[in-house]
């Protein structure tokens, strides 16, 4: 019997997406703090410790421990539960934090568990457990782009994660290896072996500009890869801001001359 609430959903938009979730009476969805966009009258909002999955220990200390683990993944102590307390179907919507794609994950089909980067989780049907996953390999933890701690999403309902840019989904066969930039791994099923490989070669290391390590994903299993991690976007914006610091972009001869010399 399915323990998570069964929800219907529709994803709107292309580059800046939102997910609209339809709740039957007494159905609930959990979400990260700050992801809420809008809801219809009759939906009640409640802030809770942890993820509200019902899998955490009883009592205040148990709930505090469950919520405290979320700090290790860079998330808030609290999550928000939205419940349809009215009559008929009600809708509540959540927005992506930056340009990219929202990925629906049916955990009942995917084996009940997904491992994802720390800030990927957006929302899920109530009953889904959101916890932490430790990287067992030293190299993966030190150089994997996400550190030793990642998120794990467990249950038998639908969860939604977010990534930057375009999302590439691939089913890896047994023994098949995919080499990926360490910051571009969004999520993977537990059957995938995640490790780190040194790029190698003096010229590649010094002049390649692609970092010193690849993330290697070995099948069998399914992986989700993002084309634009937020760290890469932030670095580009910072570089642009530094290069244009003190320059008057609109009007002025010096501003126009500077842009011409820069090729802009």
Indicate the helix (H) or strand (E) that contains 164.
Answer: strand 158-164
Share of the chain above pLDDT 90, in %: 44
Q: Give the DSSP H/E element, type plus range, for residue 94.
A: strand 90-95
- Of 17-21, 135-139, 183-187, 213-217, the range with the highest mean pLDDT is 17-21
pTM of the full structure? 0.78
Task: Output the CA torsion sign for 36, 66, 124, 45.
Answer: negative
Domain 8-243, CATH number (from 1.10.1740.10, 3.40.50.1820, 3.10.129.10, 3.60.160.10): 3.60.160.10
Q: Looking at the predicted structure, is the pLDDT value of residue 255 above 70? A: no
- Count Cβ neighbours within 10 Å for each residue of 212-224 and write b for 16 or more, e otherwise: ebbbbbbbebbbb
Give tens-digit pLDDT for 173-219. Answer: 999 999 998 888 999 999 999 888 776 544 444 444 455 678 889 99
Residue 101 predicted with pLDDT over 90: yes
In the chain, what are the domain boundaries?
8-243
Q: Please report the pLDDT score of residue 36 as a whole number.
A: 94
What is the per-residue pLDDT for 117? 87
CB burial readout 19-41, b (16+ within 10 A) else e? bbbbbeeebbbbbbeebbeebee
């Amino acid at each position: 019997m399915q323990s998570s609430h069964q929800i219907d959903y529709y994803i709107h938009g292309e580059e800046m997406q939102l997910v609209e979730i339809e709740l039957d009476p007494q159905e609930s969805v959990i979400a990260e703090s700050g992801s809420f966009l809008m809801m219809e009258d009759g939906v009640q909002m409640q802030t809770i410790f942890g993820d509200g999955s019902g899998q955490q220990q009883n009592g205040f200390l148990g709930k505090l421990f469950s919520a405290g683990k979320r700090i290790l993944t860079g998330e808030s102590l609290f999550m928000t539960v939205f419940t349809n307390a009215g009559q008929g179907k009600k809708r509540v919507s959540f927005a992506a934090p930056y340009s990219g794609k929202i990925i629906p994950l049916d955990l009942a089909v995917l084996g009940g568990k997904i491992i994802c980067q720390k800030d990927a989780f957006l929302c899920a049907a109530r009953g889904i457990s959101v916890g932490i996953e430790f990287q067992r390999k030293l190299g993966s933890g030190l150089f994997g782009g996400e550190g030793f701690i990642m998120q794990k999403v467990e249950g038998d309902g639908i969860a939604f994660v977010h990534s930057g840019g375009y999302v590439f989904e691939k089913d890896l066969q047994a023994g098949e290896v995919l080499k990926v930039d360490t910051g571009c791994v969004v999520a993977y099923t537990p059957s995938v072996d995640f490790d780190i490989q040194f790029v190698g070669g003096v010229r590649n290391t010094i002049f390649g500009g692609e970092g010193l390590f690849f993330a290697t994903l070995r099948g069998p299993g399914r992986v989700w890869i993002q084309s634009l991690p937020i760290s890469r976007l932030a670095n580009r914006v910072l570089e642009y801001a530094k290069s244009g610091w003190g320059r008057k972009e609109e009007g002025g001869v010096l501003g126009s001359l500077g842009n011409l010399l820069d090729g802009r």
